[in-house]
Structure 1
Amino acid sequence: MTSAWVGQLVRLRAIEPEDWETFHSFDEYSDAVRNGHQLHPPQSAAQARKWAAELAERTQDLDEVRLVIATREGNTPVGMLNTHGVDRVHGTFSYGIGIGTPHHRKGYAGDAVVLLLRYMFFERRFQKAEPRVYGSNEGSLALHRRLGFVEEGRRRRCHYANGRYDDEVLFGMTIEEFTERHVS
Protein backbone atom coordinates (compact mmCIF):
# COMPACT_ATOMS: atom_id res chain seq x y z
CA MET A 1 0.00 0.00 0.00
CA THR A 2 1.27 3.48 -0.91
CA SER A 3 0.13 6.74 0.66
CA ALA A 4 -0.26 9.89 -1.43
CA TRP A 5 1.10 11.76 1.59
CA VAL A 6 4.46 9.98 1.76
CA GLY A 7 7.39 10.97 -0.44
CA GLN A 8 10.98 9.82 -0.64
CA LEU A 9 12.05 11.84 2.43
CA VAL A 10 8.93 13.18 4.14
CA ARG A 11 5.36 12.51 5.03
CA LEU A 12 2.69 15.19 5.20
CA ARG A 13 0.34 14.86 8.15
CA ALA A 14 -1.96 16.82 10.42
CA ILE A 15 -0.47 18.60 13.39
CA GLU A 16 -0.65 16.82 16.72
CA PRO A 17 -0.82 18.62 20.09
CA GLU A 18 2.60 17.26 21.05
CA ASP A 19 4.21 18.99 18.02
CA TRP A 20 4.03 22.34 19.83
CA GLU A 21 7.52 22.11 21.29
CA THR A 22 9.22 21.53 17.93
CA PHE A 23 7.49 24.46 16.25
CA HIS A 24 8.05 26.64 19.29
CA SER A 25 11.79 25.94 19.04
CA PHE A 26 11.85 26.96 15.34
CA ASP A 27 10.86 30.51 16.37
CA GLU A 28 14.32 30.95 17.91
CA TYR A 29 15.78 31.41 14.39
CA SER A 30 14.77 35.00 13.60
CA ASP A 31 16.20 35.13 10.06
CA ALA A 32 14.26 32.04 9.05
CA VAL A 33 11.08 33.43 10.61
CA ARG A 34 11.51 36.68 8.65
CA ASN A 35 12.00 34.73 5.41
CA GLY A 36 8.69 32.99 5.96
CA HIS A 37 6.57 35.96 6.90
CA GLN A 38 7.37 38.26 9.80
CA LEU A 39 9.00 38.25 13.20
CA HIS A 40 6.60 38.10 16.16
CA PRO A 41 7.33 38.73 19.82
CA PRO A 42 8.20 35.58 21.77
CA GLN A 43 5.25 33.46 22.81
CA SER A 44 4.98 31.39 25.93
CA ALA A 45 5.03 27.62 26.01
CA ALA A 46 1.37 27.77 27.07
CA GLN A 47 0.49 29.79 23.96
CA ALA A 48 2.41 27.37 21.73
CA ARG A 49 0.62 24.40 23.32
CA LYS A 50 -2.74 26.07 22.78
CA TRP A 51 -1.89 26.89 19.13
CA ALA A 52 -0.97 23.27 18.39
CA ALA A 53 -3.99 21.89 20.23
CA GLU A 54 -6.37 24.23 18.37
CA LEU A 55 -4.88 23.29 14.99
CA ALA A 56 -5.09 19.61 15.88
CA GLU A 57 -8.81 20.00 16.65
CA ARG A 58 -9.63 22.05 13.54
CA THR A 59 -11.35 20.29 10.66
CA GLN A 60 -9.24 20.49 7.49
CA ASP A 61 -10.69 22.05 4.36
CA LEU A 62 -9.98 19.96 1.25
CA ASP A 63 -8.31 22.86 -0.59
CA GLU A 64 -6.99 25.16 2.13
CA VAL A 65 -4.80 22.79 4.08
CA ARG A 66 -2.15 23.21 6.79
CA LEU A 67 0.11 20.18 7.11
CA VAL A 68 3.16 19.20 9.11
CA ILE A 69 6.19 18.12 7.13
CA ALA A 70 7.63 15.17 9.03
CA THR A 71 10.50 12.82 8.29
CA ARG A 72 9.41 9.70 6.51
CA GLU A 73 11.29 7.55 8.99
CA GLY A 74 10.61 8.59 12.56
CA ASN A 75 7.72 11.00 11.82
CA THR A 76 9.71 13.90 13.34
CA PRO A 77 8.31 17.35 12.45
CA VAL A 78 10.75 19.38 10.35
CA GLY A 79 8.42 22.07 9.01
CA MET A 80 4.96 23.02 7.87
CA LEU A 81 3.19 24.02 4.70
CA ASN A 82 -0.18 25.48 3.92
CA THR A 83 -2.24 26.44 0.90
CA HIS A 84 -3.89 29.83 0.65
CA GLY A 85 -5.14 32.21 -2.01
CA VAL A 86 -7.27 29.37 -3.35
CA ASP A 87 -9.27 30.42 -6.42
CA ARG A 88 -11.58 27.56 -7.38
CA VAL A 89 -13.04 29.47 -10.36
CA HIS A 90 -9.68 29.91 -12.08
CA GLY A 91 -8.05 26.82 -10.61
CA THR A 92 -5.12 28.58 -8.96
CA PHE A 93 -3.65 28.52 -5.47
CA SER A 94 -0.64 29.64 -3.54
CA TYR A 95 1.19 28.02 -0.67
CA GLY A 96 3.66 28.78 2.05
CA ILE A 97 6.34 26.47 3.32
CA GLY A 98 8.69 26.69 6.27
CA ILE A 99 11.40 24.26 7.28
CA GLY A 100 12.98 24.58 10.72
CA THR A 101 16.54 25.88 10.48
CA PRO A 102 18.14 22.69 11.87
CA HIS A 103 16.57 20.81 8.92
CA HIS A 104 17.53 23.12 6.03
CA ARG A 105 19.20 21.77 2.90
CA LYS A 106 18.22 18.14 3.40
CA GLY A 107 15.67 17.89 0.57
CA TYR A 108 12.60 18.02 2.81
CA ALA A 109 11.06 21.15 1.26
CA GLY A 110 11.30 19.92 -2.33
CA ASP A 111 9.81 16.55 -1.48
CA ALA A 112 6.96 18.21 0.45
CA VAL A 113 6.15 20.66 -2.36
CA VAL A 114 5.98 17.85 -4.92
CA LEU A 115 3.56 15.90 -2.68
CA LEU A 116 1.40 18.99 -2.19
CA LEU A 117 1.32 19.81 -5.91
CA ARG A 118 0.44 16.23 -6.80
CA TYR A 119 -2.54 16.44 -4.42
CA MET A 120 -3.72 19.86 -5.57
CA PHE A 121 -3.35 19.08 -9.29
CA PHE A 122 -4.52 15.47 -9.44
CA GLU A 123 -6.96 15.20 -6.54
CA ARG A 124 -8.40 18.71 -6.27
CA ARG A 125 -8.38 19.64 -9.98
CA PHE A 126 -6.32 22.85 -9.74
CA GLN A 127 -4.35 23.89 -12.80
CA LYS A 128 -1.70 26.31 -11.49
CA ALA A 129 0.37 26.91 -8.36
CA GLU A 130 1.45 30.50 -7.67
CA PRO A 131 3.83 30.73 -4.69
CA ARG A 132 5.55 33.96 -3.68
CA VAL A 133 9.06 34.16 -2.23
CA TYR A 134 10.89 37.10 -0.66
CA GLY A 135 13.79 38.22 -2.84
CA SER A 136 16.35 37.82 -0.06
CA ASN A 137 15.34 34.21 0.65
CA GLU A 138 18.02 32.64 -1.54
CA GLY A 139 17.27 29.10 -0.38
CA SER A 140 13.59 29.27 -1.33
CA LEU A 141 14.33 31.03 -4.63
CA ALA A 142 16.77 28.26 -5.55
CA LEU A 143 14.30 25.57 -4.46
CA HIS A 144 11.49 26.89 -6.63
CA ARG A 145 13.74 27.30 -9.65
CA ARG A 146 15.12 23.78 -9.15
CA LEU A 147 11.57 22.38 -8.99
CA GLY A 148 10.79 24.01 -12.34
CA PHE A 149 8.75 27.04 -11.31
CA VAL A 150 8.81 29.98 -13.70
CA GLU A 151 9.50 33.46 -12.35
CA GLU A 152 6.49 35.47 -13.52
CA GLY A 153 7.07 38.81 -11.88
CA ARG A 154 8.22 40.80 -8.91
CA ARG A 155 6.48 43.08 -6.44
CA ARG A 156 9.09 45.64 -5.50
CA ARG A 157 9.74 46.69 -1.89
CA CYS A 158 6.57 45.10 -0.50
CA HIS A 159 8.05 43.36 2.55
CA TYR A 160 9.80 45.05 5.46
CA ALA A 161 11.98 43.15 7.92
CA ASN A 162 15.25 43.62 9.77
CA GLY A 163 15.48 47.29 8.81
CA ARG A 164 15.13 46.90 5.05
CA TYR A 165 12.60 46.52 2.29
CA ASP A 166 12.52 43.42 0.16
CA ASP A 167 10.92 42.37 -3.11
CA GLU A 168 8.48 39.52 -3.49
CA VAL A 169 9.19 37.17 -6.41
CA LEU A 170 6.10 35.68 -8.05
CA PHE A 171 6.46 32.12 -9.31
CA GLY A 172 4.10 29.89 -11.27
CA MET A 173 3.83 26.29 -12.36
CA THR A 174 1.01 24.78 -14.41
CA ILE A 175 -0.21 21.22 -14.16
CA GLU A 176 1.35 20.51 -17.55
CA GLU A 177 4.75 21.80 -16.41
CA PHE A 178 4.48 19.75 -13.22
CA THR A 179 3.49 16.59 -15.09
CA GLU A 180 6.34 16.95 -17.57
CA ARG A 181 8.92 17.38 -14.84
CA HIS A 182 7.67 15.35 -11.87
CA VAL A 183 5.41 12.54 -13.13
CA SER A 184 6.93 9.49 -14.76
Structure 2
Amino acid sequence: MTLFPLHNQAVVESMAEQNYTTVTEFILIGFTDHPNLVVILFLVFLSFYLITLMGNMGMVLLICLDSRLHTPMYFFLSHLSLLDACYSSVIVPQILVTLVTGRTSISYNSCATQFFFFTVCAGTECFMLSVMAYDRYVAVSNPLLYSSAMTLGTRWGLVAGAYGGGLSGAILRTACTFTLSFCGPNQINFFFCDLPPL
Protein backbone atom coordinates (compact mmCIF):
# COMPACT_ATOMS: atom_id res chain seq x y z
CA MET A 1 0.00 0.00 0.00
CA THR A 2 1.45 3.39 -0.96
CA LEU A 3 1.36 6.41 1.31
CA PHE A 4 0.17 8.72 -1.46
CA PRO A 5 -2.47 7.90 -4.01
CA LEU A 6 -1.13 8.06 -7.55
CA HIS A 7 -2.63 11.45 -8.38
CA ASN A 8 -1.33 12.98 -5.11
CA GLN A 9 2.20 11.70 -5.83
CA ALA A 10 2.11 13.46 -9.20
CA VAL A 11 1.08 16.68 -7.42
CA VAL A 12 3.99 16.35 -4.96
CA GLU A 13 6.47 15.77 -7.82
CA SER A 14 5.06 18.74 -9.71
CA MET A 15 5.43 20.96 -6.63
CA ALA A 16 9.03 19.78 -6.14
CA GLU A 17 9.84 20.69 -9.75
CA GLN A 18 8.33 24.15 -9.31
CA ASN A 19 10.25 24.82 -6.08
CA TYR A 20 13.59 23.82 -7.60
CA THR A 21 15.16 26.88 -9.19
CA THR A 22 18.72 26.99 -10.37
CA VAL A 23 20.92 29.99 -9.75
CA THR A 24 21.53 32.03 -12.91
CA GLU A 25 23.41 34.85 -11.22
CA PHE A 26 25.17 35.63 -7.97
CA ILE A 27 24.93 38.79 -5.89
CA LEU A 28 28.26 40.08 -4.57
CA ILE A 29 27.61 41.67 -1.18
CA GLY A 30 31.20 42.44 -0.22
CA PHE A 31 30.77 46.15 -1.00
CA THR A 32 29.63 49.12 0.98
CA ASP A 33 26.03 50.34 0.93
CA HIS A 34 27.07 53.94 1.57
CA PRO A 35 26.73 55.90 -1.70
CA ASN A 36 29.05 58.67 -0.50
CA LEU A 37 31.97 56.19 -0.34
CA VAL A 38 31.51 54.83 -3.87
CA VAL A 39 33.53 57.57 -5.60
CA ILE A 40 36.35 57.35 -3.06
CA LEU A 41 36.48 53.54 -3.30
CA PHE A 42 36.43 53.71 -7.11
CA LEU A 43 39.36 56.13 -7.17
CA VAL A 44 41.33 54.10 -4.61
CA PHE A 45 40.79 50.79 -6.47
CA LEU A 46 41.51 52.38 -9.85
CA SER A 47 44.72 54.02 -8.65
CA PHE A 48 45.96 50.81 -6.98
CA TYR A 49 45.07 48.84 -10.11
CA LEU A 50 46.93 51.21 -12.42
CA ILE A 51 49.97 51.31 -10.12
CA THR A 52 49.98 47.50 -9.94
CA LEU A 53 49.71 47.15 -13.71
CA MET A 54 52.38 49.76 -14.43
CA GLY A 55 54.76 48.34 -11.83
CA ASN A 56 54.43 44.73 -12.92
CA MET A 57 54.41 45.36 -16.65
CA GLY A 58 57.30 47.81 -16.20
CA MET A 59 59.21 45.04 -14.42
CA VAL A 60 58.53 42.60 -17.27
CA LEU A 61 59.54 45.18 -19.87
CA LEU A 62 62.71 46.13 -18.00
CA ILE A 63 63.78 42.50 -17.64
CA CYS A 64 63.15 41.87 -21.35
CA LEU A 65 65.03 44.97 -22.51
CA ASP A 66 68.07 44.94 -20.20
CA SER A 67 70.50 42.20 -21.21
CA ARG A 68 72.18 42.28 -17.78
CA LEU A 69 68.91 40.97 -16.31
CA HIS A 70 68.74 37.92 -18.56
CA THR A 71 69.51 35.58 -15.69
CA PRO A 72 67.34 32.73 -14.39
CA MET A 73 66.31 34.63 -11.25
CA TYR A 74 64.99 37.61 -13.24
CA PHE A 75 63.45 35.31 -15.83
CA PHE A 76 61.30 33.73 -13.11
CA LEU A 77 60.66 37.11 -11.52
CA SER A 78 59.28 38.45 -14.81
CA HIS A 79 56.79 35.58 -14.96
CA LEU A 80 55.81 36.21 -11.35
CA SER A 81 55.20 39.88 -12.21
CA LEU A 82 53.11 38.85 -15.20
CA LEU A 83 51.01 36.61 -12.95
CA ASP A 84 50.51 39.45 -10.47
CA ALA A 85 49.25 41.70 -13.28
CA CYS A 86 46.87 38.93 -14.37
CA TYR A 87 45.62 38.50 -10.79
CA SER A 88 44.69 42.15 -10.64
CA SER A 89 43.08 42.07 -14.07
CA VAL A 90 40.85 39.16 -13.07
CA ILE A 91 39.47 40.82 -9.94
CA VAL A 92 39.65 44.62 -10.10
CA PRO A 93 37.69 45.37 -13.32
CA GLN A 94 34.62 43.62 -11.86
CA ILE A 95 34.99 45.70 -8.70
CA LEU A 96 35.24 48.91 -10.72
CA VAL A 97 32.17 48.03 -12.80
CA THR A 98 30.23 47.25 -9.64
CA LEU A 99 31.20 50.57 -8.09
CA VAL A 100 30.32 52.58 -11.21
CA THR A 101 27.03 50.90 -12.09
CA GLY A 102 25.90 49.92 -8.61
CA ARG A 103 24.94 46.52 -10.02
CA THR A 104 26.28 43.90 -7.64
CA SER A 105 25.09 40.84 -9.55
CA ILE A 106 27.33 38.68 -11.72
CA SER A 107 26.06 36.03 -14.10
CA TYR A 108 26.69 32.36 -13.45
CA ASN A 109 28.98 32.06 -16.50
CA SER A 110 30.90 35.24 -15.61
CA CYS A 111 31.39 33.96 -12.08
CA ALA A 112 32.67 30.62 -13.37
CA THR A 113 35.03 32.40 -15.78
CA GLN A 114 36.35 34.73 -13.08
CA PHE A 115 36.80 31.78 -10.71
CA PHE A 116 38.67 29.80 -13.39
CA PHE A 117 41.14 32.56 -14.28
CA PHE A 118 41.69 33.49 -10.62
CA THR A 119 42.41 29.85 -9.82
CA VAL A 120 44.81 29.59 -12.79
CA CYS A 121 46.73 32.60 -11.48
CA ALA A 122 46.71 31.35 -7.88
CA GLY A 123 47.86 27.84 -8.72
CA THR A 124 50.49 29.00 -11.18
CA GLU A 125 51.86 31.49 -8.67
CA CYS A 126 52.30 28.74 -6.08
CA PHE A 127 54.15 26.59 -8.60
CA MET A 128 56.21 29.59 -9.74
CA LEU A 129 57.28 30.36 -6.17
CA SER A 130 58.37 26.72 -5.83
CA VAL A 131 60.37 27.01 -9.05
CA MET A 132 62.03 30.19 -7.77
CA ALA A 133 62.88 28.48 -4.49
CA TYR A 134 64.41 25.58 -6.42
CA ASP A 135 66.39 28.05 -8.53
CA ARG A 136 67.84 29.69 -5.41
CA TYR A 137 68.56 26.26 -3.91
CA VAL A 138 70.56 25.26 -7.01
CA ALA A 139 72.40 28.61 -6.98
CA VAL A 140 73.40 28.30 -3.34
CA SER A 141 74.10 24.57 -3.10
CA ASN A 142 76.22 24.29 -6.24
CA PRO A 143 77.22 27.74 -7.54
CA LEU A 144 79.89 26.48 -9.94
CA LEU A 145 77.46 24.29 -11.87
CA TYR A 146 74.54 26.73 -11.63
CA SER A 147 74.83 28.15 -15.16
CA SER A 148 75.02 24.70 -16.71
CA ALA A 149 72.11 23.42 -14.60
CA MET A 150 69.79 26.38 -15.28
CA THR A 151 69.93 26.55 -19.05
CA LEU A 152 67.32 28.39 -21.08
CA GLY A 153 65.59 25.11 -21.90
CA THR A 154 65.46 24.14 -18.23
CA ARG A 155 64.01 27.54 -17.31
CA TRP A 156 61.30 27.33 -19.96
CA GLY A 157 60.54 23.76 -18.89
CA LEU A 158 60.10 24.82 -15.26
CA VAL A 159 57.91 27.78 -16.24
CA ALA A 160 55.82 25.60 -18.58
CA GLY A 161 55.41 23.09 -15.74
CA ALA A 162 54.24 25.86 -13.41
CA TYR A 163 51.68 27.12 -15.93
CA GLY A 164 50.59 23.57 -16.73
CA GLY A 165 50.15 22.72 -13.06
CA GLY A 166 48.17 25.90 -12.45
CA LEU A 167 45.97 25.30 -15.49
CA SER A 168 45.24 21.65 -14.70
CA GLY A 169 44.42 22.49 -11.09
CA ALA A 170 42.12 25.31 -12.19
CA ILE A 171 40.27 23.06 -14.63
CA LEU A 172 39.75 20.47 -11.91
CA ARG A 173 38.61 22.99 -9.26
CA THR A 174 36.30 24.83 -11.63
CA ALA A 175 34.76 21.62 -12.93
CA CYS A 176 34.21 20.30 -9.40
CA THR A 177 32.78 23.60 -8.15
CA PHE A 178 30.48 24.46 -11.02
CA THR A 179 29.06 20.99 -11.58
CA LEU A 180 27.38 21.37 -8.19
CA SER A 181 23.81 22.62 -8.29
CA PHE A 182 23.48 26.06 -6.70
CA CYS A 183 19.86 26.23 -5.60
CA GLY A 184 20.06 28.10 -2.30
CA PRO A 185 20.70 31.74 -1.58
CA ASN A 186 22.69 33.26 -4.41
CA GLN A 187 24.48 35.87 -2.30
CA ILE A 188 28.27 35.77 -2.08
CA ASN A 189 29.65 37.59 0.94
CA PHE A 190 32.76 38.68 -0.94
CA PHE A 191 33.73 41.04 -3.75
CA PHE A 192 34.54 38.36 -6.37
CA CYS A 193 33.82 34.69 -7.06
CA ASP A 194 36.20 32.74 -4.84
CA LEU A 195 35.88 29.16 -3.58
CA PRO A 196 35.15 29.63 0.16
CA PRO A 197 32.28 32.13 -0.38
CA LEU A 198 30.82 29.98 -3.18
TM over 0.5: no
- Name the structure, 1 or 2, with higher relative contact order (CA <8 Å, separation 6+): 2
Computing the radius of gyration from Cα coordinates, the structure with the larger value is: 2
Query: Which structure has greater helix proportion?
Result: 2
